[in-house]
Structure formats: structure tokens, C-alpha cells
A = this chain, B = another copy of it.
Amino acid sequence: MSDIRFDVTGIGNAIVDVIADADDAFLTENGIEKGSMQLVDADRAEVLYGKMGQAIEVSGGSGANTIAGIASLGGACAYLGQVKNDQLGTVFAHDIKALGVTFPTSLKDTGAPTARCLIMVTPDAQRSMNTFLGASASFGTEQIDEACVSDAKITYLEGYLFDSPAAKEAYYKAAGIAHAAGRKVALTLSDGFCVDRHRADFRKLVKEEVDILFANEAEILSLYETDVFDDALQAVKEECAFVALTRSEAGSVIAADGQIHVIDAAAVDKVVDTTGAGDLYAAGVLFGIVTERSPAECGQLGSLAAAEAISHYGPRPLVSLKELASAQGLL
């Protein structure tokens, strides 16, 4: 059995976020579904970018944001995701390495440019995302660094990548390596529409390979094709050992070993941009798991990290989550 070098290895898209304010009329005029993630091609990305206001660029990607959050809490992490060797790819690689995260994926010299996510933030702090996958879509089995998976307590998979058949195959490869090494596999469902597109595949993966599952309300309802939250909760807790379901300002529900815990959201003075809320919630929970905390404590860490993420523009923490959590007596 290999040595444990990492608390969590994340696998997912490798994206730079382009964030600008927009009003609701902008979303309507441009056919953007508020609060969701839409995949766009290069042409649509260019048209939307042309219409957006002045923006900031920050590294993003759901799984990568989660890994950034775990690193900020003091965890040892690796991340696997594909960028091109261009300016935005260099930014992505720099930022994740600057957090002390191992990032073994080589930057590609050819092919599509680095992925970007055009994010419009409406005055209600909701984010609507338009993702041009670019180089990220070329992720496949060959990008799975076996040692990074076998040497991590948990391998964390981002559901968004399920839109790519090659990535789906890579996920099964990673899950096989993790379980063969006696490790755990975690998954986030990422987006309700993504679950709609790949429901059967997600159900199969959850049943067969997932030890720890993250989902928001829309995603878990979609997965079990129900309108009743409790029905989905009762169903999923039979299929997965550890489930964390987020409900925005209503907090979250964790089902661990069949026991259910209802967790409060943490207070936020002013919600600025909800980008990264779910990603950072997962960071707190995963850090709690690898440090062997109780499910309720895991949930509190998740709430704390999510609250930090939504108090500013951009999906990744701006302060040390380790210090923040320590100050609140959670570490």
C-alpha cells in the first residue's frame, strides 16, 4: 500500500473565471438561465464577452475551488485538470501552485485555449455561468496521475466533467485506483442540468463508486426524479455512506452512516457573489472528514468556508480559512 501524501486529490475542469456585474435584463436578453451553468462554444463565448462589462479574472473551476479551500484550511492537496500553455493557463497553474497544491498535469502546447467561465453576477449576488471548456474538455484517462490518486485519502470528482465521455472514463479509472489503494471517492453533482443530462450515469457512479456525495437541492431532486426533498434524502442515504446536501441560506443536511444531521448556514454580513459557495462548502466538509471530525463539525466547517466565499467577488477564499476557523473555535 502506498504512503498517504495528500488529504484530497481533486479532478475536474481547469478554468479561469471572468466575472462582471450584470442586471437581470442582460440575462434575459442573452438567453442566460439565472443561477445555472451553460456550456458555450468559442463563438458564443466571444459574443457574450463582448457584451459583458469590465471584468476581473480569477482562477476558478468547481473542483479546483474546493481544493483551494482545503489547502486554505491546512490540508495537503493535489489537482488534476487540463489547461493550455497560454496566458490564462499560466494564471491557473500559478494560482493553484501558489496555494501549495501539487498540480502535475502538463500544460498543453497545442489545441484549444484554456477554459474560461463568463460569470454574470446580478444585484441579488446570484451567479450565472457560461463555460467555454476549451483545453479542459480534452481531459481523459491519460491525465490521471495514478500516484496522486493512490496517495490521497480522498479523490474528489467534479460532476461538470461528466459532459465529456473521455472524462467519464477517466473518473472510473481514478475511482478504481483509489479503491484498490483502500482510499475513498467523493463526487459533487455540480449542476441540476448536468444531472438531467447524465442521470443514469450519475446513479450508476454513486451506487458503485462514491463514498462521499455532495449535491444541492436541485441536483439531488433531479438525481432521484422527485419534487420532495425528504424523499431524495431518504433514498440517497441508503446508497452512499456520507451525503452532504446544501440548501443555500437554509444551511445543509448531512447523512452519515444512516444518521441525519441538520446544519445551519453561517452568518454573512453582505452576500456579494455566490460563486463558489457549494465548492467551498465541500472544502470544509472534506477537510473535516480527513481530520476525522464528526459529521456535524464537518458541516460547520462547510458553512464557514461557504460564508467566506460569498462575502466577496470570486470563488476562492481571500483569507486563511485555517485562521478563520480557528478564531471561531472550529479547528
Contacts and interface: CB of A to CB of B under 8 A. Distances in A.
A57 B54 contact: no
Nearest to A56: B58
Q: Determine the main DSSP class of A at the interface with B.
A: mixed
A89 to B, nearest CB: 9
Interface residues of A, number: 25
A68 interface: yes
A316 interface: yes
B99 A54 contact: yes
A59 interface: yes
A86 B314 CA distance: 23
Nearest to A53: B98
Interface in A58-75: 58-59, 68
A87 interface: yes
Contacts of A58: 56-57
Interface of A: 20, 49-50, 52-59, 68, 86-88, 91, 94-96, 98-99, 113-114, 314, 316
Given A54-B95, A55-B94, A57-B58, 10 more contacts: A49-B94, A54-B68, A54-B94, A54-B98, A54-B316, A55-B91, A56-B56, A56-B57, A86-B87, A87-B114
